[in-house]
Amino acid sequence: MPKPRWAMSMGAIELRLTPSPERGRTAATMEKIGWNSKRVAVLLSPHNEYPSPNHSLSMNIIVWNSRGVLKPNFQNHVRELARIHNPAILVIMETTLGGARAKEITDRLPFDGAIHTETVRFIGGLWLLWNSNLVEFVQLANTEQEIHMEVKVPATNLSWIFFAFYASPRSVERCILWENLIKVAEFHNKPWVIAGDFNEPLLGEDKFGGRPVNISRSLLFKDCLDKCNMVDLGFSGPRYTWTNRRELNNLIQERMNRYFMNLSWCLCLPPHYPAGPR
């Protein structure tokens, strides 16, 4: 599979789904906690209502940090990305644009489904685009930092959970994300993928230059991932996904864009590694 050519792309991951029978428990009752988890609890069906699919499937998911969608070449980049990779799902982060103006732009892109989050004073922004001939979506919840969806594949009985993130640069608000993920993990054990810019390095080697990685914040992030039974899919290509583009003496680079999958995904699907920035 060709890798994305865009310098600011997080990369593409090709998912080849050859699922095995699902296993797990049914949540008979769900505690009503949190705005997010309460809505997800209502919309997620009990786990054993999802029979294991008997179809093989190949699909691309692309997550791209655009750093602003009003750039002159943005729409051409998206069209070319779609032409080369034919993604079922495209997540665009740091759009810095929401509302009616966001819809006006996505209506001109080669996708027939779209969800936009609002920006906070023209900071952040997250769009999730898809092609309905390849996937169907049930929206579970979203905030300025996150979009939670259940993905269903037409002509199969395959469904799985996909969460897209553009985490706040403020640690207090990121902690809300970690709490939401932990709560949602209690409601299902379906195959589950989370992807995006988490704005938090996990390890010391995830950062070059500047201040050291904040260990206490990284441990909170890691604790969230452990409680959700998440595994890092890894990457190919450069380690770092963000840079301040300074000279070497002041250069800072970090790996904050990641894909994670839960154990149900690992049992159902063979590993394929996301491409890093090119």
Which residues, in sequence order, are CB contacts of 52 under 8 Å at separation 6+?
Answer: 19, 20, 21, 22, 268
Nearest Cα neighbor of 66 from 108, 95, 104 is: 95
Does the domain at residues 9-19+29-268 carry the CATH identifier 2.70.150.10? no
For residue 182, pLDDT beyond 90? yes
pLDDT, position 178: 94
Cβ neighbours, 10 Å, residue 89: 25
In angstroms, the CA 202 to CA 195 distance is: 14
Question: pLDDT tens across 74-121, in order?
Answer: 999 999 999 999 999 999 999 999 889 999 999 999 999 999 998 877
pTM: 0.79
Q: Show me where the domains of the chain are located.
A: 9-19+29-268
Tell me the pLDDT tens digit for each residue of 202-253.
999 999 999 999 999 999 999 999 999 999 988 888 889 889 999 999 999 9
